[in-house]
Structure formats: C-alpha cells, structure tokens
Structure 1
Amino acid sequence: MVPRSSMTAQKATYSAYKHKNTWKALIGVAPNGVVTFVSDLYPGSTSDKKIVQHCKILEQMETGDLILADKGFLLKDILPPGVNLNIPPFLVTSQFTPEQVYRTETIARARIHVERAIRRMKCYKILDFIPYSLQSHASCVVQVIGALTNFQPPLIREVAQAYSSNSDNE
C-alpha cells in the first residue's frame, strides 16, 4: 500500500485496470516449467520493454534462446544476436493460415506452463499486500517465492513422470 502522502509513488504504481497500486516483475520460465529468473519489482506503470532493458535478462541470453511474449511485447529491436522472439501472430485477415494456426497452438501450449508457474507464485498470500514501508524488501520476497515455487511438484506431466521414474530406480 502506498501512503497517500507519496503522490509520485502512488501515481507510478497505480493500475487503472486493477483499480489499485501494483508492482510488476519479469518472470523467466524454462521449457520444463522451472522458474529461472525473477527480476526486481518495478512500479506498475513501467513498460514491459523498460523492465526487460533494465533487469539485464538479455545479457543472460545465448544464441538459440527463445523468448515467448505477448502480442504487445515488442522487443525485436533490443534482442541480442541469435536470440529469437516468438509472439502470437496478429489476425490481419478474417482467418489464420494453417501455418499460423499450428504456430499459435504451439506457442499456446508453452505459454500455459509459464502462466501456471506465475499462478503458483501469485498464490503466496504475502503478495496480497506489501506495505509501502517494506517496499525495499519486496523484490527479495518475490525472488524467494520464485525459488520456493520450484520446490513444488513439476508443472508438466512428462517431467513429473520422469521425476517419479528416477525415484523408483533409486
């Protein structure tokens, strides 16, 4: 909660969409559903592109890495060489081509795991209300939650089955 006396902070964190003050973080999720990156928190009004630039995740990317992002997440101009951006196609005509349908479905399957990982993080009640006085510790709290999420059972059935097969062999 941002104190009323701090109008600048309140303006930067207020979300008209959610009707409250918010913070944002960039969450990286591996193909197996493991949370691999949690940025610091940024005021809710910060653009996604600014967060990507500031949090230095692009410095950790390697040739061949793939970033899945929302339609409005336009990052092509700041990507390192060899790093690919995959966003759902925009519907320009009345219907997608078969190739666009296949690509959209493939992206959607991967996005589900990202959304599930983020949903697991949001389940921690401590995130429901972080007092403004604890703002300096909030990023650390979210990063620890990202790590704790990885101790939960695997998100993806194939990973869970491989996990249980390995423990059966021990």
Structure 2
Amino acid sequence: MPECFSPGYSDTRVIIDCTEFRIEVPPTVDDRVVCYSHYKKGFTAKVIIGITPGGFICFKSKVARGRKTNSQMTVESGLLGLLETGDVFLADKGFAEIKKVLGDSGREVKIVMPPFLTKKHEFSKKETTYEVARVRIHVERIMQRLRVYRVLDKIPHNLFSCIDDIVHMCCVLVNLQPPILSTNNSM
C-alpha cells in the first residue's frame, strides 16, 4: 500500500471517478436528448473508472450517454456488489446518492468523499483537511492518462456501438504505463 494511504485510508479498496468525453452530435433527436450534458455544454459519453490504491485501473463501467448521473451509473455498473464489508472506497461529491444505496444494502462499506459546503459559508478546520484530496488525486492522474492518446476526443456517432471496446483498450494502454506511484513516494 502506498505511504500516502497510511494510516487513515489503508483499507481502501477502490477510488472511483467519472469522466466525460465529447462525441459527435447524434443523428436522432432522442439520442441528442440523452447525450446532452449540461455540465459540459455539449454531447458527451461518460464512464466510471475505478483504480486500486497502487494506481491501476481495476474497474470500468459500461459507457453511458452524458445525461446519466454518476450515482445512477455506479449502481447500474454492479460495482457496489463487488465491495465487501469493511471495504473503503473513495469518491468525489458527484457520488453522494451512493451513501443511501450502501446504507440500504446492509453491508458495512465506508464511502469517503470530500466535505460539502451546505448552509454554512465556509468549512470548519477539520473539514479542510487535505487527506482525502491527497489520495483521490491519483484517480485524476489516471483520467489524464486516458486522455493522453486523444482517442476519446470527439468520438464519431457511427463508432458509438463499439465505444465500450475503445474505452477498454485505452484503459489497457494506461495500465501498461509505468505506475503513477512508487513505493517510496508519498504523493
């Protein structure tokens, strides 16, 4: 386990995040409706990626159209069924609804997310800890590596039927690169 996970996150099983990438304008109105992302202000597809604490991709959801929420995709992907009692997984704020799903499942799986700024105007000193960000940054580095090949830039609509295979191959290429963490590296 890399040092940056000790001691607070030594039980981490997976770090998840979602990435969106642009696609060509879909040919039908129905496809345009489900592919339009208000967040990206364009037509997108998205995928949930899970990495190990060591920085390797260990999970990839099916690619979904841009309108689906991160929580919907996570539930539909089957990832939660792979988690066991005592596991810890890290996610960002876009996965808030997962806490309820995990609570309803009865399994004691801990989800760690950055704090939310709700009715307050600023975070407390305890909430401003960078511990979560320090370990979650690794999934952002992996997402950046997925984009390096530029294969996922503006996918043509006629290739959407094989988009899962394309993303899978990009994940394989990322896993073949040198690790993002070394054993003596704290970041």
- TM-score normalised to the size of structure 2? 0.76
1:128 aligned onto 2:153: yes
Q: In the superposition, relative to structure 1, how do residues 133 and 95 fare at CA in structure 2: closer, same or farther (>3 Å)?
A: closer
Of 52, 67, 77, which residue of structure 2 is paired with 1:30?
Answer: 52
How big is each residue's C-alpha offset from its partner over 1:95-139, in whole Å with a ceiling of 9 and x where there is no partner?
A: 54443233xx11001111010011101222221122111111101
Unaligned runs of 5+ in 1: 161-170
Asked if the contact 1:15/1:44 (under 8 Å) is kept, the reply is: yes
Instruction: Identify the structure with the greater helix proportion.
Output: 1
Matches within 5 A, 1:76-155: 76-79=99-102, 80=105, 81-91=107-117, 93-102=120-129, 105-155=130-180
Instruction: Identify the structure with the greater strand proportion.
Output: 2
**Alpha-carbon offset, residue 90 of structure 1:** 2.2
SS at match of 2:160: helix
Q: In 2, distance between residues paired with 1:53 and 1:13?
A: 19
Question: % of aligned pairs identical?
Answer: 36
> Aligned AA for 1:117?
I
Q: Over aligned residue pairs, what C-alpha RMSD do you find?
A: 2.0
Structure showing greater radius of gyration is 1
**Alpha-carbon offset, residue 146 of structure 1:** 1.1
SS at match of 1:8: helix
Q: In the superposition, relative to structure 1, how do residues 124 and 73 fare at CA in structure 2: closer, same or farther (>3 Å)?
A: same
SS at match of 1:25: strand
Instruction: Give the structure, 1 or 2, with the largest relative contact order (CA under 8 Å, sep 6 or more).
Output: 2
